[in-house]
Amino acid sequence: METRKVQVTGGSTYTVSLPKSWATDNGISAGSEVEFYPEEDSLLLTPRSVSERTEGTLDVSDLKGEQLTRAVMTMYVSGFDIIALEASRISTDQRRAIRDAVQGLVGVEVLEETSERVVLQDLLDSSELSIENAVTRMRLISRSMLEDAVTALVQNDHDLARDVIERDDDVDRLWFVVSRIFRATLRSPRAAKELGLPREVCFDYHSSARQLERIADHAAKVAHLGLDLDEVPDGVADGLQATHEDTSAVINRAMDALFMDDPDRATDLANEARESILDIDEHTGDLRELLRDLNPAEAQLLGLVVDSLSRSADYGGNIAETALQKAAPRP
C-alpha cells in the first residue's frame, strides 16, 4: 500500500499524485486520461478504458469432449467476446463438443470455421444485460421445474419428467450469464456502474443464482428418478407434495427477501424462510418412516427424492442467509 497527501491547487482543486510504478505498468503518462468511480466512501481509479471487444485464443489440440466444452464455457464466463479455438487440425468430435458449448451459452454464435480454427463471438451487448432479470428468470424456471418434477413423479407422467430435464439447460445458460456479468464487475468498476448496482449486491445475486442452479439440478434429478419409478403409494405421494409446498415456500420467501428494498421487511422474510426449514425436516422424517414399508429398491429411489427436496430447502435457506447479509447495516 502507498499513501499520498492531498494538495490544493488553484485555491479550490484537490490533487493527488499517482504512484509512478502503477502509472508505468498501465501505460499512463502525461496527458493520459483516467476514470474515477465513486463507491460510497471510496473512490476507484482506473486507466480510461477503450470500448473494444476482448479476444481470447485457446489451443484445443489436447482437449476433447466434456473438457473442450467446459473450456469454451470458461472462456465465455471469463469475459471474452471473441473466442478463437485453434489446433493443427480440429476433429469432428471436437467440433461437436464446440457446438455443444455454443448451444449452452446465451448469444454465442460461430463467426468463422476452418480446418484449423473455429472463432466464436458473443453477439449480446454485455452492458444491456441485467443480472437481476437473469436471476429472476432462474427463480421462475427452477421453481416450476421442482413443482413439475414432483407432479410428474406422483402422477407417473414421463413426458412431463422429460420436459423438466430439458429445462435444466435453460437454467444453466442463465447461470453462465450471471457468472459472466459478475466476473465483469470484479474486473472493472465500469461494468458495475453500467449495471447500476454495487458490487456487493452483484455478489449477493451471483451467490443466490448458484443456489437456484443447484435447485434446478435436484429438480432434474427428481425427474430422472420419476422415469425409473412406477406408481407412488398415496401416503408417500401426499407427503412428497406437502414437502414440496413447504420447500417452495422457503425458496419464495428467501428470493422475495433478496430483492426487497426495505431492509427490515427483508430481514423478517429471510428469518421466516430459515425458520420454516424445521417444518420440512419434520415432513422428511415422517416420509422416511413411510418408506420403510416399501420394497427396498422403491424405498431407495424415493429416499433420493426426499433428499433432493430437503437439499432444495437448504439451498433456499442459503439464499435467505444471503438476503440477511444484503439487508444488514453497512459498517
The answer to whether the beta carbons of residues 325 and 271 sit under 8 Å apart is no
- Work out whether the CA dihedral 188, 194, 195, 200 comes out positive or negative: positive
Distance CA 192, CA 182 (A): 9
279: left (phi over 0), alpha (psi -120 to 50) or beta: alpha
> In the numeric block, which cell numbers belong to residue 173?
445458460
What integer best gives the mean pLDDT of the chain? Answer: 90
Give how far the C-alpha of residue 158 lies from the chain's centroid of Cα atoms, to the nearest Å.
Answer: 28
* Beta carbons within 8 Å of 250's beta carbon, 6+ residues apart: 273, 276, 277, 280, 313, 316, 317, 320
Cα(first)–Cα(last) distance of the chain, in Å? 22
Q: Percent helix, strand, coil in the chain (nearest 5)?
A: 65, 10, 25
Paired residues of 8 in beta bridges = 14
Q: What is the pLDDT of residues 188-216, one digit of tens each?
A: 777 777 788 888 999 999 999 999 999 99
Question: What local confidence, expressed as pLDDT, does residue 158 receive?
Answer: 97
Which of the four pLDDT bands, split at 50, 70 and 90, describes residue 262?
Answer: very high
- Prediction pTM value: 0.86
Predicted pLDDT at 194:
79
CA distance 132 to 104: 20
Q: What span, in angstroms and rounded, lies between the C-alpha atoms of 150 and 218? A: 11
Q: What is the pLDDT of residue 214?
A: 98
- pLDDT of 140 above 60: yes
pLDDT tier at 300, thresholds 50, 70, 90: very high
